Structure 1
Amino acid sequence: MDATLVVSLPSRIRELVPGFAISLIVAAAASFLSEHYGTPVMLFALLLGMALNFLADDTKCKPGIEFTARSILRLGVALLGIRITLSQIADLGWKPVVLVVVLVIATILLSVIAARALGFQRIFGMLTGGATAICGASAALALSAALPAHPQKERATLFTVIGISALSTLAMIIYPMIAHAFDLSPHLAGIFLGATIHDVAQVVGAGYSMSTETGDIATVVKLMRVAMLLPVILCASMITRRLGANVDGKKPPLLPWFAVGFLLLASINSTGWIPSALQHLGSDLSSWCLVIAISALGMKTRLKELASVGLKPILLMVGETLFLATLVLTLMHYGF
């Protein structure tokens, strides 16, 4: 049996290399364009991937693309844990923690209810709500990996990533203006930006465009939202196990391996044992894994399929974004 494994492993690697290599090239091109034009790298990766969607049907590339969209995605989510430490959360006190917990729960619940009212599956509400409340495209990809297989899951995931990336970019520009309009202090402005903008990169851009203090606080609050990814994935797994099995007849695991990896890395990182250089390496590797995976997901979709979703999903994500910003400003007004 061991001999068979040794013989089959190189064959399996050769099978995966073409599709993975294409996804890596697309991710590198997306990163280059993002750095030069200031647009979210996830959006470029999606668009470039969709331009090469014919490769997903190619016999040589298909296995590697499937592997990248599934396994590399989950590795990237697990590595997100290296960005979190318990001391970062403790330094801000209990109020921002309560704020983050309340806004995540409220936004996801509202999203699921609104999705059902608009005629969508609960899965779409979970994806858009999780992406809005937690960490944008990364949360959408993580939740998608945790949810059971569904005929509409990949299309819903891709549309969520596109919409959230666009809204996050708009928020990076508009929300600092809102902070100025409400005359928020650097401390409160950091909490507002970190609690409302979807993607980490846009939070950093918006926060440090105002001041160093605002940027530091916004980043930590945002990482607190990222830390909510684990309990949300656990809840989503429990709900989907209760609702039914995968299309292949298997129930999803109660806690996926990448969620366990996320928790372990966050716990180890909190001890201070991980050197700063290794933290940066793990964070960069996580970002690259997610960009490579979204490139592969882009190759697996068709523009015609995305165009068929209509106006309602856009209204849902815009409504979730406005709800989140309004909720945070309201809670901050009452002392959180």
Structure 2
Amino acid sequence: MTDGPAPGSAPDPASGRTAGRVPGLAVAASAALVAWLVHLAVPAVPLLTAAVALGIVVAQLRPVRDRLEGTLAPGLAFSARTLLRAGIVLLGLKLSLLDIAGLGWITIATTVLVVVLTFAGTLGLGRALGLPGHEPVLVASGFAICGASAIGAMGAAVRARDDEQATPVALVTLCGTLAIAVLPALWHPLGLTAPQFGHWVGAGVHDVGQVVATAQVAGTSALAVAVVVKLTRVLLLAPMVAIAASVERRRATDAAGPHPAIVPLFVVGFLAAVLLRTFVPLPEWLLTGADLVQTTLLAMALFALGASIRVAELVRTGWRALVVGLTSWVLVAALACGAVLLG
């Protein structure tokens, strides 16, 4: 018997990569647990928002930052990419096409219109102000579709670097958190009923957790409408990402590297999960377990994305991105409110 590999044998690269990821994965999992505890202590703070915020805070501490960029980097990179995509696939199990159809064609049409107009307006403004690289399309995805999850999905599709995703994630977290306080304050002055308020929140707030935190102040009827409208926006993640990937594929000119997939594999998985939830009666225990896994994966991924944000650099160079983000936040809220009032 031998205690190790035979002399002269090559080490297993896959085993080495896996071992290298363990420290970062452990930190990301611990951060997800801390975010969950924060959410339990302060229910108004969505778990995923807490995870992003924790990553941002930790990344500003110099001693910790050195670890984030060193031994923890492989595991955090794996979390921000692979775990994020797995979480988005499981997110599809929250969506039933029957629930969305129950909204009625007018609500569905106006929700789609809000997403498309917000995306186009934000993308155009981001390019006009000269945001670098893929930042315009990432900010547009986050504000128009479903927050940080959409940024990660779009980033994967267009092959954005982690540092390109950092500023959009910070912006969508900031504005989504502001929405939790601002929108309820405008509920009664705008003369909205509880279901109308829920519709407004679902169509105008970014992450699902932020939608729940904002809409619950108006009761269960508002919350039910908000979640279904929000998930209708989430469903648009698939076609928007597929279109962006197709555009990026046409733009790719580096013959030495592979072109982006026409439809990313995780988007196919997301759609398959939606169809599974719609047409197959799944037991409640399975949906509950999948929701727990999905939330954990996204919390780990969003902590990792938050940990790539450097606030000093953002303050110094990110004023244009801040203008785009705040303008997009006002735009989506105004369009969503208009859709509610017209409906």
TM-score, L = length of structure 1 = 0.89
CA distance in 2, matches of 1:270, 1:331: 27
Show structure 1 runs of 4+ deviating over 6 A: none
User: Structure 2 residue aligned with 1:198, among 206, 221, 224?
Assistant: 206
TM-score, L = length of structure 2 = 0.88
User: Structure 2 residue aligned with 1:16, among 2, 21, 42?
Assistant: 21
The 3-state SS of whatever aligns with 1:274 is coil
My pick for the range that moved more, 95-104 or 173-182, is 173-182
CA distance in 2, matches of 1:65, 1:206: 30
Corresponding position: 1:29 with 2:34: yes
Once the two structures are superposed, residues 146-180 of structure 1 have per-residue CA deviations (whole angstroms, 9 ceiling, x without a partner) of 1124xxx4233122112211211221222123221
Aligned length: 328
Identity %: 29
Corresponding position: 1:43 with 2:52: yes
Cα pair 1:115 1:122 within 8 Å, conserved: no
Cα–Cα, structure 1 residues 302 and 171, in superposed 2: closer, same or farther, change >3 Å? closer
Once the two structures are superposed, residues 76-103 of structure 1 have per-residue CA deviations (whole angstroms, 9 ceiling, x without a partner) of 1111111100111011111111011111
CA distance in 1, matches of 2:69, 2:342: 55
The 3-state SS of whatever aligns with 2:317 is coil
Cα pair 1:42 1:165 within 8 Å, conserved: no
Cα pair 1:53 1:300 within 8 Å, conserved: no
Letter in 2 for 1:53: R
Corresponding position: 1:166 with 2:174: yes
Alignment of 1:167-182 (within 5 A): 167-182=175-190
User: Structure 1 residue aligned with 2:67, among 55, 72, 87?
Assistant: 55
CA distance in 1, matches of 2:333, 2:262: 32
Cα pair 1:108 1:125 within 8 Å, conserved: no
The alpha carbon displacement at 1:301 in A equals 4.5
Cα–Cα, structure 1 residues 170 and 273, in superposed 2: closer, same or farther, change >3 Å? same
Cα–Cα, structure 1 residues 181 and 5, in superposed 2: closer, same or farther, change >3 Å? farther
The alpha carbon displacement at 1:8 in A equals 5.5
Residue 209 of structure 1 corresponds to 217
What 5-or-longer segments of structure 2 have no aligned partner? Answer: 1-8
The 3-state SS of whatever aligns with 1:120 is coil
Cα pair 1:24 1:292 within 8 Å, conserved: yes
Residue 221 of structure 1 corresponds to 229
Once the two structures are superposed, residues 95-132 of structure 1 have per-residue CA deviations (whole angstroms, 9 ceiling, x without a partner) of 11101111111111111110111011462221111111
What 5-or-longer segments of structure 1 have no aligned partner? Answer: none
Residue 290 of structure 1 corresponds to 298
Residue 5 of structure 2 corresponds to none
